[in-house]
């Protein structure tokens, strides 16, 4: 029993590691959870591009005919956009239900916050895990696009990073909103139907934004999907976009990612340390 | 055991010092200035009804919830500045299970161990050890949702032990469990206590407090009503025995009136009348002789429930 004496407190190595790598531990946790629905993830990541590329590129492309759009074939035009919207879909899954679940339904975030991990690190870990899944999904998409001959190996590989960024730019503000919810009375379904769907349809994904009437084009201007898709097109087939607009596209994506990431951390802290 | 324990309390500084601890949510005061100390190796309890501020206190001690005012040091550190350093040395068993239902039983332990910066090879071994401790070896690959309530609690305790904590915080550890599951759990907690782990637990079960706590505070409406060992509290605030009489729901209050003067004190509850006395059988005999005819009668030893009733005028479980 004499072993129990006041130990001199050393700076706990455990806490030091948690302070440094905490977000990665959370991401590791999330990725392990994703493994439990890995078949959905993989089938989604491979099946979706196949279906879309066949339906849109080959089917719809045939209807559009050989008239070039934005200087390229319809398949080439639509492929980078489809890749971006796949990353957006991944982000919209991972930043909605798992977030509300972590706070409320199966409050794993409360469990984690009893460990040395801070609420901010929980948010960071969520973001990292979505980066991983969105990136992997985009890479698979890119490879399949290569098989369809809609991109060529080279600079187009960078469009994978752009797609991942679009996912974050779309998903992180949604996480911020979801983090403020106490319960889901249809809000998540509303986000999917009234935000995800219209933004995908009216963001120059399937046709150039300029082919829409001006009074609808604003939807694209405020949509991270349009800004990201345009960037991806520049990388995929060298779409003609003025330099200043490229800068605007990048800044727009960052303007959605950085402040809302910060805000999500704040909300998580307020919620978990009350 | 006790002489050694006493010596330890004297020579070693407390692992938890709370003084005038206050927590307010908006205009609502959840904890209204409570002070206590916990010595290393001690098993310390917070006894009180639901809403007494026990859980809030535990969350502050757990370096999760920030205090509104007062002084609080855990293991010599201030939770406002050294949250991760404190939490690295605590094990926490929350009132509501928050195991990850999307992971398997063993994975829950492994993932949690990683949060303490422990290497993967270590958390694997540790998880297996603790599954054995929690008597869940054969459930290692089960889904969490397939576990019974008692198994979930044991898994949560195992999770709280992944980092070999110096203090284990348990918030209502056996609430909602059947008697057998409670006894299994108590047995595990006893073992931890024997190994020298400091336990801090909240409960509204007096038998649990009597079983597990060396010392406890009785909390009601965010303030401390009394402090001591279970035995000393019973000695101070109650009598050795209690005579329980039932006269039927509509007659209890009326009979309590006519019994006033019997024993040390008479307490009327909706379903029965309690007569506090050193000698229950003797008191019963006297009352029978005086023509008092209860429907049923029972003599039992005083418990912390009686202490609580005396201190607050209310029952612990309403």
Please list the residue range(s) of chain B that carry CATH number 3.40.50.300: 2-228
In chain A, what percentage of residues exceed pLDDT 70?
96
The dihedral formed by the CA atoms of B66, A269, B78 and B42, expressed in degrees to the nearest 10:
70
pLDDT band for position B316 (cuts 50, 70, 90): low
Choose among A89, A95, A143, A156: nearest CA to A123.
A95
The residues with which B71 forms a beta bridge, in sequence order, are: B19
> Is the predicted pLDDT of residue A27 greater than 90, yes or no?
yes
What per-residue confidence (pLDDT) applies to A33? Answer: 95
DSSP state of B197: -
Long-range contacts, stretch A48-57, CB < 8 angstroms, 24+ apart: A48/A86, A48/A89, A48/A141, A49/A82, A49/A83, A49/A86, A49/A140, A49/A141, A49/A144, A49/A145, A50/A144, A52/A82, A53/A79, A53/A82, A53/A144, A53/A145, A53/A148, A53/A150, A56/A82, A56/A206, A57/A148, A57/A150
Chain-chain contact of A15 with B102 (C-beta, under 8 angstroms): no
Chain-chain contact of B66 with A21 (C-beta, under 8 angstroms): no
What per-residue confidence (pLDDT) applies to A94? Answer: 95
> Is the predicted pLDDT of residue B10 greater than 60, yes or no?
no
pLDDT in tens, B261-271: 788 889 888 88
Q: Of A21, A29, A118, which is closest to B111 when you measure between CB atoms?
A: A29
pLDDT in tens, B31-63: 999 999 999 999 999 988 888 899 999 999 999
- Ranges of each domain in chain A: 22-272
Class of domain B2-228: alpha beta
Average pLDDT score over residue span B301-313: 85
pLDDT band for position B4 (cuts 50, 70, 90): very low
What per-residue confidence (pLDDT) applies to A130? Answer: 97
pLDDT in tens, B248-284: 888 888 888 888 778 888 988 888 999 999 999 999 9
pLDDT in tens, B90-139: 999 998 899 999 999 999 999 999 999 999 999 999 999 999 999 999 99
Under an 8 Å CB criterion, which residues of B touch A? 4, 8, 11-13, 25, 40-41, 62, 64-66, 75-77, 82-85, 87-90, 92, 94, 96, 98-103, 107, 111-112, 114-118, 159, 163, 196
pLDDT in tens, A132-162: 999 999 999 999 999 999 999 999 999 999 9
Are the CB atoms for B245 and B275 separated by under 8 Å? Answer: yes
What per-residue confidence (pLDDT) applies to A11? Answer: 42
- List, as one string, the DSSP characters of B74-113: ETTB-HHHHHHHHHTTEEEE-SS----TTSBHHHHHHHHH
The per-residue pLDDT of chain B, averaged, comes to 89
The whole-angstrom separation of Cα A178 and Cα A181 is: 5
pLDDT in tens, A189-247: 998 898 998 888 889 888 899 888 888 899 999 999 999 999 999 999 999 999 999 99
> Is the predicted pLDDT of residue B2 greater than 70, yes or no?
no
Nearest CA in chain B to A106: B98
Q: Give the fold, CATH level 3, of B239-301.
A: Alpha-Beta Plaits (3.30.70)
Are the CB atoms for A136 and A160 separated by under 8 Å? Answer: no
């Amino acid at each position: 029993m004499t072993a129990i004496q006041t130990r001199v407190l050393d700076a706990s190595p455990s806490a030091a590691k948690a302070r440094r790598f905490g977000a990665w531990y959370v991401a590791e946790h999330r990725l392990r959870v994703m493994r439990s629905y890995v078949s959905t993830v993989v089938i989604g990541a491979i099946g979706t591009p196949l279906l879309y590329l066949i339906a849109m590129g080959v089917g719809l492309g045939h209807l559009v005919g050989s008239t070039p759009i934005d200087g390229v074939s319809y398949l080439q035009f639509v492929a980078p956009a489809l890749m971006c919207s796949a990353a957006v879909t991944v982000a919209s899954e991972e930043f909605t239900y798992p977030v509300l679940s972590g706070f409320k339904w199966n409050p794993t975030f409360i469990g984690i916050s009893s460990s040395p991990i801070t609420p901010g690190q929980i948010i960071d870990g969520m973001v990292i895990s979505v980066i991983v899944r969105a990136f992997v999904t985009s890479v698979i998409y890119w490879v399949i696009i290569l098989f369809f001959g809609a991109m060529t190996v080279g600079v187009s590989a960078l469009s994978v990073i752009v797609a991942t960024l679009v996912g974050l730019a779309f998903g992180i503000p949604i996480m911020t909103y979801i983090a403020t919810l106490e319960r889901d009375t249809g809000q998540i379904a509303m986000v999917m139907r009234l935000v995800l769907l219209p933004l995908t349809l009216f963001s120059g994904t399937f046709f150039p934004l300029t082919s829409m009437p001006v009074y609808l084009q604003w939807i694209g201007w405020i949509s991270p999907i349009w800004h990201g898709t345009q960037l991806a097109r520049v990388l995929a087939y060298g779409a003609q976009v003025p330099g200043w607009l490229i800068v605007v596209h990048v800044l727009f994506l960052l303007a959605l990612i950085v402040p809302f990431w910060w805000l999500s951390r704040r909300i998580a802290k307020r919620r978990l340390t009350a | 055991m006790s002489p050694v324990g006493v010596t330890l309390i004297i020579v070693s500084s407390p692992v938890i010092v709370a003084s005038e601890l206050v927590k307010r949510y908006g205009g609502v005061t959840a904890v209204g200035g409570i002070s206590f100390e916990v010595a290393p190796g001690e098993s310390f309890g917070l006894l009180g009804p639901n809403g007494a501020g026990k859980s809030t206190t535990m969350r502050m001690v757990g370096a999760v919830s920030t205090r509104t005012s007062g002084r609080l040091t855990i293991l010599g550190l201030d939770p406002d500045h050294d949250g991760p350093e404190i939490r690295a040395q605590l094990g926490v068993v929350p009132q509501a299970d928050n195991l990850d239902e999307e992971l398997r039983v063993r994975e829950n332990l492994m993932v949690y161990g990683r949060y303490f910066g422990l290497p993967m090879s270590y958390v694997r071994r540790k998880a297996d050890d603790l599954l054995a401790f929690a008597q869940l070896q054969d459930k290692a690959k089960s889904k969490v949702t397939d576990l019974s309530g008692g198994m979930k609690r044991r898994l949560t305790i195992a999770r709280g032990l992944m980092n070999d904590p110096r203090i284990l915080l348990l918030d209502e550890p056996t609430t909602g469990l059947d008697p057998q599951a409670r006894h299994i759990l108590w047995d595990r907690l006893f073992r931890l206590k024997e190994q020298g782990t400091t336990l801090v637990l909240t409960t509204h079960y007096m038998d649990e407090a009597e079983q597990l706590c060396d010392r406890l505070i009785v909390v009601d409406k965010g303030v401390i009503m009394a402090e001591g060992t279970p035995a000393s509290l019973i000695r101070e605030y109650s009598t050795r025995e209690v005579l329980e009489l039932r006269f039927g729901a509509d007659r209890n209050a009326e009979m309590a009136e006519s019994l006033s003067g019997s024993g040390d004190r008479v307490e009327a509850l909706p379903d029965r009348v309690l007569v506090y006395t050193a000698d229950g059988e003797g008191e019963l005999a006297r009352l029978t002789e005086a023509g008092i005819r209860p429907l049923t009668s029972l003599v039992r030893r005083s418990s912390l429930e009686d202490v609580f009733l005396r201190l607050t005028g209310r029952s612990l479980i309403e």
